[in-house]
Amino acid sequence: MSRPLIGITAGLRRIRASTGEHEPAHTLWPTYTGMVREAGGIPVLVTPGLPDEAPEVLDRLDGLLLSGGGDIDPGLYDGIVRPRVYGIDRTRDLFEIAMAQAARTRRFPTLCICRGMQVMNVALGGTLIEDLLDDDPARLQHWVDGKHAAQDSQHEVIVEPGSTTAKALGADTLVVNSIHHQAVRTLGESLAVSAVAPDGVIEAVEPTDRDWPMWAVQWHPEQLGTSHDPSIRLFKALIDAAR
């Protein structure tokens, strides 16, 4: 059986070129592509384009992974630009929102990670908390800095028993890394909360339509790696659906 082709959205950032200048480049952490390969898929990068290109891109893929990155433009969900909002790329926002909407229409196999979960929520009409600490200083610290923050486990996540998220992860509770300062505020259409942090922050959502194989998590399973069983199981769920 041929391996499914999984499109992974990439961002745009400036990197140092041979000229010594910082030039724009499409980028993606290799942990995403590595986990897709380990789970049995073939990863390809999907760079931001025009929104009307989204259906044609999906025509050529078997599955979609909406990756992490900078913040979504708050203007796209009637939000406010807070001081810690960063990395806005409206071209990427509009393209990925179109990809998410096309994926929903087609019930296309999709995995959404961190920013990707927020993109899906906004694409379906939901809103975001622009900055968790500005919104409520008593919350847990969800943005953890440091050299090994992406690989470390920072807080527990409580998963809804019987949810498709719980079935994919093979767990009702787990401890995850946490590298986000935004989160879902109001749910998008046809989405249900499937996991929360101890402070109530939404950590995973899934479709109410169980015919749509879509999983969305706020943490970074691609960084926790293949030795973290729930993480590799989540990627395998995407690959199995894409077959």
Active site residues per annotation: 114, 220, 222
Q: Which of 46, 52, 55 is nearest to 9 (CA)?
A: 46
CA distance 61 to 204: 24
SS3 176: strand
Sequence-ordered strand ranges (E) for the chain? 5-9, 11-16, 22-27, 42-46, 63-66, 110-113, 127-129, 155-159, 173-176, 183-186, 191-196, 202-207, 214-217
CA distance 205 to 183: 11
Are 221 and 230 within 8 A, CB to CB? yes
Q: Which of 121, 128, 111 is nearest to 41 (CA)?
A: 111
Half-sphere exposure (Cβ direction) of 119: Cα atoms closer than 13 Å: 34
Other Cβ atoms within 10 Å of 17 Cβ, number: 11
